[in-house]
Structure 1
Amino acid sequence: MKPTPGNPPRIVAVVVAWNRRELLTQCLDGLAGQTRPADAVIVVDNASTDGSGDIARDHPVVTEVITMPTNTGGAGGFTTGIAAAMARQRADGIWIMDDDTVPTSTALQALLDTARLYPRELAVLASRADWSDGREHPMNTPRNRLDASPREKADAARLGCRPIRSASFVSILINAEAVRECGLPMADYFLWNDDFEYTARLLRHHEGLYVPASRVRHLTRAFGDSGADPGPRFYQEVRNKVWLFTRSRALTRWEKLIYGASTLRRWAHTLRTSGNRRVLSRGLRTGLRDGLRAGPRANGRVLAGTPAESDIEALAKEPA
């Protein structure tokens, strides 16, 4: 993804949208205002019912709208968008974000400047995500790379960055070569931990950086991290974490021990402080049961009959 004289990287932005048309408009306006514009913008409309698809089709920055027949969650949406960026838009880098993310005007330029100045190839570059009041959003703070070498830390620090082990899907730039090597996100995660699993998989054998100079606003309704009471979505948190720790190749054994212990502490805190423990207890039981019973289905099966099917097949046929 490093630019060469006369041959800048082709960057394709991917936005996943579902029933937030006002925020989607702000997101697309932010993409339109970039000092270094994306070369193409794909919006994956996850079967919205509020006219989000029409907003995207009418916006001048949008190159393509992919309309899904059903809501495939963030995991299915990003799998679809990344596959399209790779198979049909010839992306060198894929810049992904949710529809409630509003990039500042220099967000992409800062990521590309860092990629250009860093001495080695990077698989993932993550922006700083702020909430509406300017505080850094704890939901999107990337995990530090605990085993980063002194050289990696020094090279990152010279650019005002730090090495990371995983990141959220709120404004990250992914190297297309890493996608070819490591594959697509797992669509069957639907939501929760899909970004943890995928970015950790990309970064297991590759470098990634947190780039605070690249700023976006993540306009969630509330300020908080993943420890907030998730209600019925606790099922996906539990099932997907079980999949991550038992089925994915994203983490090493020692990382599974560290992150597994952290997960158990967070689950205990969430259950203890919840006002609806019955719902969370049910999610814990069924999530453990389903996560241990079987692993996530292949993307081709989850997204069969959707616009993503042919792109996933095309990528699978690419020479290794």
Structure 2
Amino acid sequence: MGVDATVNQRIVAVVVAWNRRDLLLQNLDGLAAQTHRPDAVVVIDNASTDDTAELASRHPVVTEVVTLPTNTGGAGGFAAGIARAVVAHQAQAVWIMDDDTVPTPTALEELQRARVRYPGRVTVAASRADWRDGREHPMNLPRERLGTTATEREAARLVGAFPIRSASFVSILLDAEAIADHGLPQADYFLWNDDFEYTTRLLRSGVGLYVPASRVYHLTKVFGSSDADPGPRFTNEVRNKLWMYGRSGSLGPLEWPLYVGATGLRWARMLARSDHRSALVGYGREGVKEAMRAPRPTSVVLADTPVAHDVERVERGAGRV
């Protein structure tokens, strides 16, 4: 792929929404205000019980609303949306985000500018995510790629970026060729670490760029990192990390012990800071128990949904079914 091969790419934005219609409205208004407008906008309504689907269908920036019959979590929602974007909307790049993400007007323009100017194919380009007060949100800080060469770092610097190994699903631009090669997020993760597993899978051999000039707001209720006590969601954290480290293959043999060790240290800090330590330990045990089985294929999880055909096509093409 040449330097200018991404200039005229068809870009489809995917927003996963669930019961946050007021935040979704801010998100869609932000998409409508882009200086580089996406060619289509797909909203995945994760079986919301408010008027999310109706609001999205009335918004002029939205091309399609897909309502899933049950809440499949962020993992299932993004798998559904990416598949829909690539198959039904013929995306060559897919810009994904949650409904509590509000892009600034130049967010997409800056991501695409970095991809166009970089001397090679960029698999993932990630925005800077700020909290509502302008501080960079620690929940969305990308992991730097270790072991990059001086040439690689300089190439990234010249386009206003630096090389990364993973990123959150809060405003990243994905190359459709990489999606075709590696498939979709693991829908059975439901939530937590689905973005970590997926982006490290894409970036094991691909180029990832963090582009600070591309700014979005991530309007979570509180400002905090993944070290905070997640309560019952610690079950998902433990299960999904064990699935990832034991079954994914997204990390190389030299990376694996580093990431496993970092996870162990983070869990230890979380437990030490928690006021509900015994409950957290119980959630962790449940996660270990659930990790004993393998995650179901994404095509199975999303089989009875409106995107089943799209998911099957992408996963089959990537050799994941």
Give 1:318 shift: 4.5
Partner of 2:171: 171
Give 1:289 shift: 2.1
Partner of 1:252: 252
Say if 2:3 and 2:118, in contact at 8 Å, map to a contact too. Answer: no
SS at match of 2:121: coil
In structure 1, the gaps of 5 or more residues are none
Moved more, 211-220 or 267-276: 267-276
Look up the equivalent residue of 2:184 and give its one-letter code.
L
Residue 71 in structure 1 maps to residue 71 in structure 2: yes
Give 1:265 shift: 0.8
Partner of 1:20: 20
**What TM-score, normalized to structure 1?**
0.97
Give 1:319 shift: 8.8
Deviation per CA, 1:180-223: give whole Å up to 9, x if none.
Answer: 11111000000000000000000000111000010000000000
Partner of 2:148: 148
Partner of 1:297: 296
Partner of 1:44: 44
RMSD: 1.6
Deviation per CA, 1:233-262: give whole Å up to 9, x if none.
Answer: 000000000001000011012211111111
**What TM-score, normalized to structure 2?**
0.96
Percent pairwise identity: 57
SS at match of 2:94: strand
Q: Distance in 2 between matches of 1:39 and 1:305?
A: 28
1:22–1:251: structure 2 CA closer, same or farther, 3 Å change rule? same
Partner of 1:137: 137
Give 1:120 shift: 0.8
Q: Distance in 1 between matches of 2:115 and 2:147?
A: 21
Partner of 1:55: 55
Count residues in correspondence: 319
SS at match of 1:188: helix
Say if 1:127 and 1:211, in contact at 8 Å, map to a contact too. Answer: yes
Partner of 1:314: 313
Say if 1:57 and 1:65, in contact at 8 Å, map to a contact too. Answer: yes
SS at match of 1:216: strand
Say if 1:2 and 1:9, in contact at 8 Å, map to a contact too. Answer: no
Partner of 2:185: 185
1:212–1:5: structure 2 CA closer, same or farther, 3 Å change rule? closer
Q: Distance in 1 between matches of 2:317 and 2:237?
A: 33
Moved more, 142-151 or 93-102: 142-151
SS at match of 1:253: coil
Give 1:313 shift: 1.9
Say if 2:6 and 2:116, in contact at 8 Å, map to a contact too. Answer: no
Say if 2:20 and 2:52, in contact at 8 Å, map to a contact too. Answer: yes
1:305–1:137: structure 2 CA closer, same or farther, 3 Å change rule? same
SS at match of 2:241: helix
SS at match of 2:109: helix
Q: Distance in 1 between matches of 2:318 and 2:163?
A: 31
1:6–1:76: structure 2 CA closer, same or farther, 3 Å change rule? closer
Give 1:317 shift: 5.1
Give 1:4 shift: 5.1
Residue 10 in structure 1 maps to residue 33 in structure 2: no
1:257–1:311: structure 2 CA closer, same or farther, 3 Å change rule? same
Say if 2:3 and 2:117, in contact at 8 Å, map to a contact too. Answer: no
Give 1:6 shift: 11
Partner of 1:124: 124
1:4–1:127: structure 2 CA closer, same or farther, 3 Å change rule? same
Q: Distance in 2 between matches of 1:21 and 1:87?
A: 27
Give 1:314 shift: 2.5
Give 1:7 shift: 6.7
Partner of 1:203: 203
Give 1:92 shift: 0.5
Give 1:316 shift: 4.1
Look up the equivalent residue of 1:280 and give its one-letter code.
L
Residue 239 in structure 1 maps to residue 243 in structure 2: no
Deviation per CA, 1:260-306: give whole Å up to 9, x if none.
Answer: 11111111111111122232111111111221x12211011111111
Partner of 2:108: 108
